[in-house]
Structure 1
């Protein structure tokens, strides 16, 4: 199964600017709540998008489980630190998911965290569609209301 990134000039340009602003940023992808690619920066190919969407789905699932068990509120971000790279996965209020990879020995993780937060805050201007929650178990749902009834 081959996935192609949906081309949307506004979203692609916004993702390109995000990647360009931070030294070491390699690519950025926006996925729908169910993991379908909505857009990507110029540095990401269809095969990588397909792989990233699977990884992100698993990490978001683990993050959602942690929010339910720990009752810590809505899932906002998952950061994976590797020996030579970081993967930032941030939830956007409309249900979409931003994923950015930054790599290198001299990267500024704080700069990327700031840029990711800024993108999330302004994402609705760049996204081609407005998505509603798919079910009662959305990204922001901690499950706490179901346990306390």
Structure 2
């Protein structure tokens, strides 16, 4: 059995499909665990991509800290509700970070379902990231990666 290589085009297509499927979805991006932009849906230019990478890396860090301090188990997602939009940030099983923005009048439940579906199938479109050595020995990283 052969495995297809991960391609930027395949990731872009998957993100565009995610945005197209859900009413109100405006854009989607995927970051590596260290905050590098791996792919984006249409209408995300370089400047917005860079801004999102910085923003999402900060949100992810806050979420991981909250999970650790509150002993809440693994971080699954962060949702930011604004007056006119929602931002969903979810970590995939392979360590990448999916971020989707939807308009404030969209159905949040539909987007939550689609984000969960994408996260569950992320290995089709994304490389696998290895955990830091401290995570495998029960260090700080272990708590947020285990599900």
TM-score with structure 2 length normalisation?
A: 0.86
Instruction: Please name the residue that 1:96 is paired with.
Output: 96
Match of 2:52, SS state, is helix
CA distance in 2, matches of 1:68, 1:45: 34
| Structure 2 gap ranges (5+) | 1-6
2: distance between equivalents of 1:37 and 1:73? 26
Q: Give unpaired runs (5+ residues) of structure 1.
A: 1-6, 143-149
CA distances 1:17-40 after superposition (whole Å, capped 9, x unpaired)? 000011111110000000001111
Q: Which residue of 2 aligns with 1:67?
A: 67
Match of 1:141, SS? helix
Whole-angstrom CA distance in 2 between matches of 1:71 and 1:113: 23
In 1, Cα distance between equivalents of 2:107 and 2:51? 25
Which residue is 2:124 aligned to? 125
1:42 aligns with 2:36: no
Root-mean-square deviation (CA), in Å? 1.4
Cα deviation, residue 133, structure 1: 1.4
Q: Any idea what SS the aligned residue of 2:10 has?
A: helix
Deviations 1:39-93 (A, max 9, x none): 1111211100100111111111111111111111000100000000000000001
Would you say how many aligned residue pairs link Structure 1 and Structure 2? Answer: 133
Q: Which runs of 4+ in 1 moved over 2 A?
A: 134-138
Query: What is the TM-score normalised by the length of structure 1?
Result: 0.85
